Chain A
Amino acid sequence: MIRGVIVMNDQGKPRLIKFYEFQPPEKQQELVRSIYRILCSRAENVSNFVKADSLFGKDVRLVYKTFATLYFVFIFDHSENELAMIDLMQVFVETLNKCFKAVCELDIVFNFNKVHMVLDEIILGGQVLETSIEEVHTLVVMLGACTDQRRPGAPSCAFVPVSEQPSWKAMPPVHLCHLFLVGREDSN
């Protein structure tokens, strides 16, 4: 089961926090801080898994990935496949990219509801529901009529996934998953 999804920037500011089991707000903030401490101590080009037994209990680990200024973190237990989680993260990021047309940190900051909407289509109650970027995108567009699509200012940065196809099909994804940075958002 997936225990939670966290997106935070490289300053440790949370941009999205979703736990699939209730956590009190103070605990959430605390977890984000501890995870950030772990993540920023890790070098580049090392494995993306971190054991999180001390934070979440036995057998729970997290996988993280850096996209431009953002850390994407998935927390999961042993009933999920580690590599599949990396892929799922890729699906999530590419879907966001598709929904926001070259997504950047600002999009995620200003579209709290919509990001949750995308996530809810992919994961429900900790279980993976949908792994097709197209499907999720269609659904979100359909729902989009109800949601404001405003995007304040012209974003100067975007992180664009390189991969053309879902990396899912051919797994060794790390090089595929490398999304490059066009610009950088100044720190908040």
Chain B
Amino acid sequence: MAGPSLMASLFQRSIDDVIKGLRHCPPGTEPAYIAKSIDEIRSEIKSTDPQMKATALQKLTYLHSLYGADMSWAAFHSVELSSAAAHSHKRTAYLSAAISFDPATTDVILLLTHQLRKDLSSSNSHDVSLALSTLSSICNPDLARDLSPDLFTLLSSSKIPVRKKAIATVLRIFEQYPDSVRVCFKRVVENLENPDMGVLSAVVGLFCELTEKEPRSYLPLAPEFFKILLDCKNNWVLIKVLKIFAKLAPLEPRLGKRLVEPICELMRVMGAKSLVFECVRTILTSLSDFDSAVKLAVAKLREFLIDDDPNLKYLGLQALSIVAQKNIWALVENKDLVVKALSDTDVNIRLEALRLVMCMVSEDNVMEICRILISHALKSDPEFCNEILRFILLTCGKNYYEVVFDFDWYVLFLGEMARVPHCQKGDEIAVQLIDIGMRVKDARPQLVLVARDLVIDPALLGDPFMHGVLAASAWVSGEYIELSRNPFEIMEALLQPRTSLLSPSVRGVYIHSAFKVLTFCVFSYIKLNGDDSSFPSTLTDSVCKSDDQVRFDTVAGQPVSDIELDDQNMIVSNGQTSSAYSVTHHLTQESLLALVNLVEINLGPLAGSNEVEVLERSNNVLGLIKLIKPLLLGSSENSEGDKMKGELKASEAVKLIFYSCSEDLGPVSVNAQERIPIPKGLVLKNNLDDLEEICGDIKLPLLTSFSLAKPQTVDASGNAECHSKEESEPSTESTSLLAEHRKRHGLYYLSSGNIGVTSNDYPPAHDPKDKAIDEAEDLAKLTVKSLVTGRKPSQSKPRPVVVKFDDGEVANIGKNRTDIKADLISGAVKEVLLGDEATTSSSRRKPSSKSRREIDESKNGVSNSDKSELSKAGLGSSKHHGHGKERKHRNSAKDKERDHKDKQRSDSAHGKHRSRHRADKALEAQAPVIPDFLL
């Protein structure tokens, strides 16, 4: 045995050998080398020679830490080696444990308990330090529970380095095992008076972490912290104390009054920038009600902002964004510097500056700021340019365009943003274009102009990032075509050859818009001719009316309110009176025929497209053309009875289609879907597995029939002549298709209000009972009226109404639940601080099953619980109480609290719910129970 072991140890490669080998590895062979080394380590680590084992473990730790090699298999060897006599071996073992053990999953951690305890009580302070730092790395609830008594002893160790480390380790122990607070907390607090800076720094650091999680519990310690703030000269400690006060001050107004002066003094006197910055931040976050202090802080902040050091500038800007929330003047005062920072070389600084600039945006300056920003965007690199665009869109779109007063300007500006080179925010712009179209009726004329410019520009079609914007523009152009000056122009733009560059879905939107434009033109033509009395106008009108009635009866399943009908007629008449006025000039039979031909030529080939979206849309348009063409051609010929009838039918159909298209689309509440009550008898939570079995058979044939249908449609459109006799049929088909489409849309246009919906009935598209839509209708009426009476001058016009819903369309965000562990700690801390033996169930709740039994015991009675507590802690009860007494004289006010607390406890003893109890406590903390800390 000795022989081979000796040989092995002689020839064992040291960690340096492994590192050298790794460094000389040809590129790519590293993993193989590591695998080979690990194979060696596997055999070496089993050695009984501690030196050999230690070297192997060291190599493994190295490979694990820096090269990600797995070493979970070696966990036991770390434990084994930790009991080695030599400190260096022990160090190797503990280091490997600290680096590789996962507190949640490594089982052998528990085997380390004994060795850790031994080392914690060792006389060699290096061993103790080592054990402490290992413990803080791998602490889990069991270790924390078992070792908290040992830690308790170390908290008053005479060796400063040990005591420091023990204090730092306590944080992990508290986190993992909140009950340990009861044992250790007093000792921790005592260390606040330790004259040694290292110890003080550690304690204050510990409290800083604890207050971060639940500040209220530590309010009673404010006097101690305040003393440190006044007396201490160490910057590290002061920074941490300031951090603690930043959390405590908002909870206790009296604290703020006392704090302001010392902090301002520190700010004036101190040269260390880190401390000054902390003072500034504390004042801006937690003491922002003290004007003079804020002024001083902002002055200091300005020093940061004009500093050449980019770090200081960056932090200064960040602090400025804190102050901007409450004291916007501070931001305005430093506006020059912020705007200058927009062109800084540092991305961090530019982003911060941008954020601040956006904070300054208000109704009055939004135009100016956007102008500045867009010029910056044009100058800067693509990434930042898009960041600017993103911020502009976000800020202007916030709260339903809260800051936007002049929508004509904003819509133009959106168009401008879309044209910024490198713009990648096309989708966001598109969303806003459509959203404004739906929400802000007054903005529509300008919107149509902007959309026209975008759609018409052939250059934009090549940029894939623009496709979203183009789709939106096409949609706007089609939807509000009655506001357009020249529908023919729009039609040409929608059909331009370069549209082949668009993605199929966008192209679908284009074709559908073309459909709407065509319908509009033909409808206008019919209407015009009707007025010209080539049709008996009364007849058309009556047809029109009755058609409307029929349509709504069939589609919506219930009569439509007069408002809606009026509204539609208004749109039409409006279109004819104002912008479509020019249309009437163009609208001769020839021009319309030319238009129809143009459409037919361009869309004809698409009827064989592979893309369903394109195919279907273009077939819709072609179907429509088939329907209207005879009408156009026929009316030039001498009228015959049959022809007349056919025309009449066709014109009816066109009207039907037009009406169905010109229905005003409103915005949809985000919560619309949620508001639909689930019908009785509909169970949504059932498992659908059974259904799948049934539907499995149905699905397949459905799919195949669909794919078969495609060539059929192509054929149908190809042999258009064959079907020409049955014109009326496809027309009704297309209208019914549309109606179906609207029906389906109807589902998504449901908003507020309770609508009794049965499971297989589609809800009507626009329910007159619907509150939000009612509002929208009222609004529509209003705006239409204002349109009729004449436009107001654009300068002095009031802000257009933006349609919004009562509920704010904001999805409910779940309230953040506080961390349970933090809760437990603070519960325990409160007990310790407010009353020595107080027992509430709050901190007794322990996830570990082992301690649950003890908890139950403890609930039986106070004394009982105390005993179990102390015996668990392994301490003489006298010792514990002794400390309690020592502390009692510190603050008589605390005794008062305790009395109060005792009363409370008797209240809560009757199995009160924990949360309620906590709420009581919170109240109590706010109420006069808190002593006058600083007097």
Contacts and interface: CB of A to CB of B under 8 A. Distances in A.
A110 interface: yes
Given A84-B239, A125-B171, A171-B272, A46 B348 contact: yes
Contact of A120 (B62, B66, B92, B133): B133
Interface stretch (A20-28, A96-104, A156-164): A20-28
B87 A28 contact: no
B648 to A, nearest CB: 65
A144 to B, nearest CB: 10
Contacts of A48: 310-311
B164 A49 contact: no
B379 to A, nearest CB: 17
Interface stretch (B15-23, B429-437, B445-453, B704-712): B15-23
A52 interface: no
A81 B239 contact: yes
Nearest to A8: B66
Contact of A46 (B61, B235, B346): B346
Interface stretch (B1-9, B198-206, B633-641, B826-834): B198-206
B439 interface: no
B208 A83 contact: no
A12 to B, nearest CB: 12
B134 to A, nearest CB: 9
Contacts of A26: 68
Interface stretch (B273-281, B595-603, B689-697, B794-802): B273-281
Contacts of A129: 164-165, 168, 198, 201-202
Given A20-B137, A79-B212, A147 B88 contact: yes
A124 B169 contact: yes
A82 B309 CA distance: 14
Given A49-B348, A170-B272, A146 B87 contact: yes
A24 B103 CA distance: 11
Interface in B258-302: 271-278
A116 B95 contact: yes
B165 A17 contact: no
Contacts of A34: none
Given A130-B198, A146-B87, A171-B272, A47 B23 contact: no
B16 A79 contact: no
Interface in A26-83: 26, 28-29, 42-43, 45-50, 78-79, 81-83
B315 A79 contact: no
B104 interface: yes
A37 to B, nearest CB: 14
B16 A110 contact: yes
Given A172-B312, A188-B23, A128 B274 contact: no
Contacts of A139: 161
B58 interface: yes
Contact of A124 (B66, B136, B273, B310): B136
B136 A79 contact: no
B446 to A, nearest CB: 39
A113 B68 contact: no
A143 B126 contact: yes
A142 B87 CA distance: 12
Contacts of A81: 239, 243, 274, 277-278
B86 interface: yes
Contacts of A120: 133
B485 interface: no
A128 B202 CA distance: 7
A84 B240 CA distance: 11
Interface secondary structure of B, over-half rule: helix
A3 interface: no
Interface residues of B, number: 71
B91 A25 contact: no
Contacts of B278: 81
A174 B311 contact: yes
B311 A49 contact: yes
A158 B20 CA distance: 19
| Interface hub of A47, A87, A128, A129 (most chain B Cβ within 10 A) | A47
Interface in B58-74: 58, 61-62, 64-66, 68-70
A156 B58 CA distance: 26
B307 interface: yes
B150 interface: no
Interface in B1-55: 15-16, 19-20, 23
Contacts of B742: none
B103 A22 contact: yes
A83 B315 contact: yes
A109 B19 contact: yes
Given A79-B208, A129-B164, A168 B311 contact: no
Nearest to B90: A146
Given A17-B65, A26-B68, A112 B15 contact: yes
A174 B126 CA distance: 35
A117 interface: yes
B465 to A, nearest CB: 22
Contact of B314 (A49, A113, A170): A49
Contacts of A127: 168, 171, 202, 205-206, 209
A123 B926 CA distance: 36
A45 B310 contact: yes
A47 B88 contact: no
B198 A124 contact: no
B818 interface: no
A169 B313 CA distance: 20
A79 B243 contact: yes
A117 B165 CA distance: 14
Interface in A103-150: 109-110, 112-113, 116-117, 120, 124-125, 127-131, 135, 139, 142-143, 146-147, 150
A22 B311 contact: no
A168 B272 contact: yes
Contacts of B686: none
B165 A83 contact: no
Contacts of A143: 87, 91, 126
A14 B99 CA distance: 15
Contacts of B206: 127
A110 B70 CA distance: 21
A81 B68 CA distance: 31
Contact of A29 (B15, B68, B172, B209): B68
5 contacts: A25-B70, A43-B345, A46-B348, A110-B19, A127-B171
Given A79-B212, A112-B58, A130-B198, 6 more contacts: A22-B137, A49-B314, A82-B274, A113-B95, A124-B133, A124-B168
- Of all A-B residue pairs in the complex, the 3 with the closest CB atoms, nearest first, are A125-B136, A83-B274, A171-B273
